[in-house]
Amino acid sequence: MAIIQQIIFIAVLGVTAWLVFQRVGIIKKTILLGKDEDRKDQPGKRLSTMLRIAFGQKKMFDRPLIGILHFAVYAGFILINIEILEIVLDGILGTHRLFAPLLGSFYPFLIGFFELLALGVMLACGIFLLRRSVVKVERLQPSRHREMNGWPQLDGKLILVFEIVLMLAILTMNAADSVLQDLGSLHYTRSGPFFISEALKPIFAGWNESTLIIYERAAWWLHIIGIFVFAVYVTYSKHLHIVLAFPNTYFSRLTPKGKMNNMPEITSEVKIMLGLENQTGDAQAVPERFGAKDVQDLSWKNLMDAYSCTECGRCTSACPANLTGKKLSPRKIMMDTRDRLEDIGRNMQANKGEFKNDGKSLIGDYILEEEILACTSCNACVQECPVLINPLDIILQLRRYKIMDEAHAPASWNMMFQNMDTNQAPWRFSPGDRFNWADGLNSKPAE
């Protein structure tokens, strides 16, 4: 019987690893569809940023209570996986609590610590569920933010319930295990009392040995299968940020937020026109496209941003355009970009790894022109993001395409562009009249 369980476990582990590997491959391919961008400078500063923001959760603590709850879930998820290592080895080797003889009296203390973390995860997830379903935090509600309709709303709740069930499985499994140890059951050798599950032992009072073994094994399988399902599920969910937050913060932008990256071709042309740069050799080649029409025109970092989005909505709740009722939602920009990448990934899978033109583009089919024109370029969304995503960079590149490639801009913008060209300022009057408004400011007022 034990050998059959080992074979089943190894088979399930292999299928899980294969599914995760396949999914990671598709995500990597779609990210690499983006243009090359050098983000390898200042490795020391980048490492420091990653440790503070991704590992230390620094920006989450801008809201202390939420920061503490989120850190409890995050720390629990990371550290409890140490116990998962023992469960996986037990499943492969056919052992039970492999580390108990090796760690001796330290083992129950370690399991007790994991149980305390599991309890913290349950409490935090319960509070987060209440915030979504009872308190109804505004930035998480589909009634106010259309991008949260359907799957995104369900995904946020589903993962919380999923984690609570997994933690319950750990605690009740350990409680049943402790009762079996007290009974001297075969294979359940004494490893010492566990901190939290010890209080749950009365639930199993009066159960016979065979029933206890069935429950303990069922909880064991539920927990480990749940972890495997989670490993696959997370690659399709917003919770992919659990993994991608680390590289995303490492490769984040180090220059000041207010600095916009100019197009090198345009910058060079303007400098030549102004006599600031001499044209050497042949004229610089005109790029195939100004700005971005689809995800292939964005950089790989823009695409990693899309996969790293936590859908927390902090960016949208801080966006002045969204607050005034305009359609722009920075969160939706990132979610739409990820949806486009997902569609392209399915396209590539159906065509043996090659993308076949589907007649769609990011701007128009996913993101509306009205959305990108509403952006004020204030960087509030960039400032608020807990994993240093930059929605503004995508918006600017989409806007460049509409204006420079399609010559499609609002009439008021065209007037401003004309004034910039003729008067070097957004206003219609000449540069010599620019300070006329200040005339008389220093004169003595009439008595």
3-state per-residue secondary structure call for the chain? CHHHHHHHHHHHHHHHHHHHHHHHHHHHHHHCCCECCCCCCCHHHHHHHHHHHHHCCHHHHHCHHHHHHHHHHHHHHHHHHHHHHHHHHHHHHCCCCCCHHHHCCHHHHHHHHHHHHHHHHHHHHHHHHHHHHHHCCHHHCCCCCHHHCCHHHHHHHHHHHHHHHHHHHHHHHHHHHHHHHHHCCCCCCCCCCCCCHHHHHHHHCCCCHHHHHHHHHHHHHHHHHHHHHHHHHHHHCHHHHHHHHHHHHHCCCCCCCCCCCCCHHHHHHHHHHCCCCCCCCCCCCCCCCCCCCCHHHCEHHHHHHHHHCCCCCHHHHHCHHHHCCCCCCHHHHHHHHHHHHHHHHHHHHHCCCCCCCCCCCHHHHCECHHHHHCCCCCCHHHHHCCCCCCHHHHHHHHHHHHHHHCCCCCHHHHHHHHHHHHHCCCCCCCHHHCCHHHCCCCCCCCC
pLDDT given at position 371: 95
- With a pLDDT cut of 70, the percent of the chain lying above it is 97
> Residue 57 pLDDT > 70, yes or no?
yes
pLDDT given at position 258: 85
Q: What is the mean pLDDT of residues 346-367?
A: 92
| Average of per-residue pLDDT values in the chain | 89
* Greater model confidence, 194 or 274: 194
Token output for 207 = 């159960």
pLDDT tens digits, 198-211: 999 999 988 999 99
- Are 383 and 374 contacting, i.e. CB atoms less than 8 angstroms apart? no
pLDDT given at position 248: 96
Alpha-carbon distance of 445 to 257, in angstroms, equals 43
* Greater model confidence, 74 or 268: 74
Alpha-carbon distance of 239 to 207, in angstroms, equals 39
Alpha-carbon distance of 298 to 140, in angstroms, equals 28
* Greater model confidence, 273 or 140: 140
pLDDT tens digits, 125-177: 999 999 998 998 999 988 889 899 989 989 989 999 999 999 999 999 999 99
pLDDT given at position 436: 81
Token output for 341 = 């990448």
pLDDT given at position 445: 59
Locate the domains of the chain by residue range.
32-40+288-418, 63-250
Q: What is the mean pLDDT of residues 316-322?
A: 95
89-93, 173-177, 432-436: least confidently modelled range: 432-436
Alpha-carbon distance of 286 to 265, in angstroms, equals 7
CATH code of the domain made up of 32-40+288-418: 1.10.1060
Question: Where does the pLDDT of residue 289 fall: very low under 50, low under 70, confident under 90, or very high at 90 and above?
Answer: confident
113-117, 361-365, 397-401, 405-409: least confidently modelled range: 405-409
